[in-house]
Amino acid sequence: MSVLQRYLPVLHDRVRQRRFDSLFLFVTSRCNSLCRTCFYFDKLNSRDDLTLAEIDRISATAPPFHKLWISGGEPFMRNELAEILILFARRNRVHNINLPTNGLLPDKTFSVLEKVLAACPEIQIDLNFSLDGLADTHDVIRGVPNNFVRTLQTLREVEKRYGSIGRLRRNVVSVITSENYHELVALAQYLRENADLDGQYFEVVRGEIPDPKLKALTSESLAKLHKRLMPVHRHYAKKLFAHWRTPARQFATMYYLGNVRFHFDLHERCFEHPDPWPMPCTAGETSIVIDHNGAFRACELRKTLASLREFDFDVQAALSSEVMRTEVAAIPGDKCWCTHSCFIHDSSRFKPTVQFLNIPWAYLKQRWRQLPDVSMSDIERLNASDGL
């Protein structure tokens, strides 16, 4: 494949027409964890989950779109999860499914993956395991004894069964809190040595959570941690694009790292108080959030607007409704620029100047501002020689 052929899909993916592109679907309220970081905790384990027929109607009324963000509860507690994923992949021509899990239900995880991978040969799945620290820290934050060990066992079994399937990416997502702040670099090093991951990503704690003390961080402390986490991302970028030829590999790696740094910059700027993004937030316009019971919102961090039942579960009717138009118009005035990477990621795709100026500039800045007082860990020394 030529360099131009390598570049064009990346560039095409970065510049999109501003239209409906993502669905955030809470497939269940049921959960088997007691996470102190959960912004959905007051809705968990309700008895009003959408029926499969109602979800089918949602799919039937939604246009084709690019990405399906699954949420909950614990998604693998939804008995029809495989059927739901296959439904959207086939009917709505979804390209990517973001599938989070606490890793506590291995048998259900394997069953769902087997069905979806076999039925949808074109789909890419990001299977994101939640690990918020080393064993004791993770278990205390998640409220489940032996959670860390059990999740790692599930992760390793997924590697064993599906490690050769490139369209199933095995990632870890870690939520940055005041309790795990000092050991996230150690966690990343441990996972690099003890698991065969495709990526590890870091989100700062957000929303109204059961234990507000976990949000006792500052923008300055985030900046220091992000600095130490960039070598982690360099490690996985190098792995992700290892099969590409130069210079396409270098281009893709730099862009990937610039995107990570762009997100980190906004996390630091918006954690303590809202600070304007370099692009409009497109929540409610290019995406919609549908809760476990059919209530819908523009964003996970904004208020419920109405129930899809009022619109006969017609997604396009809800998107074009007066209540959604009013909400979209209110977002800039509310100045609710946040640290939610899903919406940063979605919104940035519809602003060419962000894709071709802000993200490359973020990459260049992170290369120039390496701080001399940051100690080099083993993972940092490994990546210091990659030229990126």
In sequence order, the β-bridge partners of residue 314 are none
In sequence order, the β-bridge partners of residue 63 are none
Which pLDDT tens digit goes with each residue over 194-252? Answer: 999 999 999 999 999 999 999 999 999 999 999 999 999 999 999 999 999 888 999 99
pLDDT of residue 17: 75
Sequence letter at residue 5? Q
pLDDT of residue 13: 56
388 in any annotated domain: no
Q: What CATH number corresponds to the domain at position 250?
A: 3.20.20.70
pLDDT of residue 292: 98
Give yes or no for residue 2 having a pLDDT over 70. Answer: no
- For the segment 74-100, the average pLDDT, to the nearest whole number, is 98
Give yes or no for residue 321 having a pLDDT over 80. Answer: yes
Range of the structural domain that residue 104 is part of: 3-383
Give yes or no for residue 385 having a pLDDT over 90. Answer: no
Strands (E), 131-167: none
What percent of the chain clears pLDDT 90, i.e. is strictly above it? 88
65 in any annotated domain: yes
186 in any annotated domain: yes
The backbone torsions φ and ψ at residue 25, rounded to the nearest 5 degrees and listed phi first, read: -120, 115
Whether 63 contacts 107, CB under 8 Å:
no
**What's the total number of domains in the chain?**
1
247 in any annotated domain: yes
Return the half-sphere exposure (C-beta side, CA atoms, 13 A cut-off) of residue 219.
13
pLDDT of residue 140: 98
Mean of the per-residue pLDDT values for the chain?
A: 92
pLDDT tier for residue 368 given thresholds of 50, 70 and 90: confident
- For the segment 127-154, the average pLDDT, to the nearest whole number, is 98
155 in any annotated domain: yes
Distance of alpha carbon 276 from alpha carbon 249, whole angstroms = 32
pLDDT of residue 359: 96
CB neighbours of 326 closer than 8 A, spacing ≥ 6? none
pLDDT of residue 374: 40
What percent of the chain clears pLDDT 70, i.e. is strictly above it? 91
Distance of alpha carbon 299 from alpha carbon 291, whole angstroms = 11
pLDDT of residue 379: 42
Which pLDDT tens digit goes with each residue over 323-347? Answer: 999 999 999 999 999 999 999 999 9
| Residue with more model confidence, 240 or 385 | 240
pLDDT tier for residue 155 given thresholds of 50, 70 and 90: very high
pLDDT of residue 366: 83
Return the H-helix or E-strand segment holding 139: helix 135-142
Give yes or no for residue 163 having a pLDDT over 80. Answer: yes
79 in any annotated domain: yes
103 in any annotated domain: yes
118 in any annotated domain: yes
pLDDT tier for residue 176 given thresholds of 50, 70 and 90: very high
Which pLDDT tens digit goes with each residue over 9-51? Answer: 555 555 667 899 999 999 999 999 999 999 999 999 999 999 9
